[in-house]
Amino acid sequence: MDIGIIGAGLTGLTAAYDLTRHGHTVTVYEARPYPGGLAAGFRDARWDWHLDRFYHHWFASDAEVIALIEELGAADRLFFPWPTTSVYHRGRIYPLDSPIPALRFLPPAIHRAIRVLQFTPSPLVDRLRVGLVSFYLTLTKDWRPLEQVTADEWLRRAVGERAYARWWRPLLMAKFGAAHYREVNMAWMWARLYKRTARPGYFVGGFQAFVDLLAARVTAQGGTVRLDTPVQAVRPAAGRLLVETSAGPASHDAVIATCSPRQMADLAPDLPADYRAQLLALRSMGALVLVMALDRPLTAGHYWINVPADEGLPFMGLVEHTNYIPADHYGGDHLVYCGDYLPPDHPYFDYDAERLFQTYRPGIRLINPDFEPSWVRSLWMFGERYAQPIPTLNHSRNIPALRTPLPGLWLASMSQVYPWDRGSNYAVELGRRVAAQVMGTSSKGGA
Mean per-residue pLDDT for 334-355?
Answer: 97
Q: What's the pLDDT band for 131 if we cut at 50, 70, 90?
A: confident
Q: What is the dihedral of CA 307, 309, 311, 312, to 10 degrees?
A: 110
User: Hey, is 235 helix, strand or coil?
Assistant: strand
- For residue 367, give the nearest of 92, 86, 153 by alpha carbon: 92
pLDDT band at 25 (very low <50, low <70, confident <90, very high): very high
DSSP states along 367-433: H-TT--GGGEEEEEEEEEEEEEE---TTGGGGPPPSB-SSTTEEE--GGGSTTSPP-HHHHHHHHHH
| β-pairing verdict for 254-257 and 409-411 | parallel
What is the rounded distance in angstroms from the CA atom of residue 394 to the CA atom of residue 280?
A: 17
Q: Where are the alpha helices (DSSP H) in 53-120?
A: 63-71, 108-117
Strands 240-245 and 51-52: unpaired
Phi, psi of 196 (to 5 degrees): -80, 140
Using CA of residue 308, residue 310, residue 313, residue 314, what is the dihedral sign? positive
- Dihedral (Cα; 143, 111, 176, 300), 10-degree rounding: -170
For the chain, domains (ranges, CATH) are: 2-75+204-282+396-443 (3.50.50.60), 101-195 (no CATH), 284-389 (3.90.660.20)
Q: How far is CA 407 from CA 162, 195, 238, 352, 356, in A?
A: 53, 35, 12, 42, 45
Name the packing angle between helices 10-21 and 63-71 (round to 10°): 50
User: Using CA atoms, how far apart are residues 264 and 399, in angstroms rounded to an integer?
Assistant: 14
Determine the Cα–Cα distance for residues 133 and 146; give it in Å rounded to an integer. Answer: 14
State whether the Cα torsion 184-189-195-200 is positive or negative.
positive
What is the reported pLDDT for 113? 62
Nearest to 19 by CA among 313, 433, 375: 433
Say whether pLDDT at 78 is over 90.
yes
* Alpha carbons 417 and 412: distance in angstroms, whole number: 9
pLDDT at residue 111, rounded to an integer:
59
Mean pLDDT is lowest, of 3-7, 143-147, 198-202, for 198-202
Which residues 6+ apart lie within 8 Å of 122 measured at CB? 130, 163, 166, 167
User: Distance between CA 384 and CA 196 in Å, rounded?
Assistant: 24
Q: Burial code of 268-281, b = ≥16 C-beta within 10 A, e = fewer?
A: beebeeebbebbee
What's the pLDDT at 95? 87
What confidence tier does 374 reach under pLDDT thresholds 50, 70, 90? very high
From the CB of residue 45, how many other CB atoms can be counted at a distance below 10 Å?
5
2 touches 202 (CB < 8 A): no
Question: Please, which residues have CB within 8 angstroms of residue 121's CB and are 6 or more apart in sequence?
Answer: 89, 90, 94
What percentage of the chain exceeds 70 in pLDDT?
94
- Strand bridging mode 41-42 / 25-29: unpaired
- DSSP letters of 42-57? E--TT-SS-EESS---
Question: How far, in Å, are 11, 325, 394 from residue 61 at the CA level?
Answer: 19, 20, 26
| Residue 447 confidence (pLDDT) | 34
Predicted confidence band of residue 197 (pLDDT cuts 50, 70, 90): confident
Asked if 37 and 29 count as a contact pair (C-beta separation under 8 A), the reply is no
Contact 116, 127 (CB under 8 A): yes
Q: What is the pLDDT of residue 180?
A: 95
Predicted confidence (pLDDT) per residue in 110-119, tens digit: 556 666 667 7
pTM beyond 0.85, yes or no:
yes
| pLDDT, position 394 | 96
Q: Which pLDDT does position 446 carry in this prediction?
A: 35
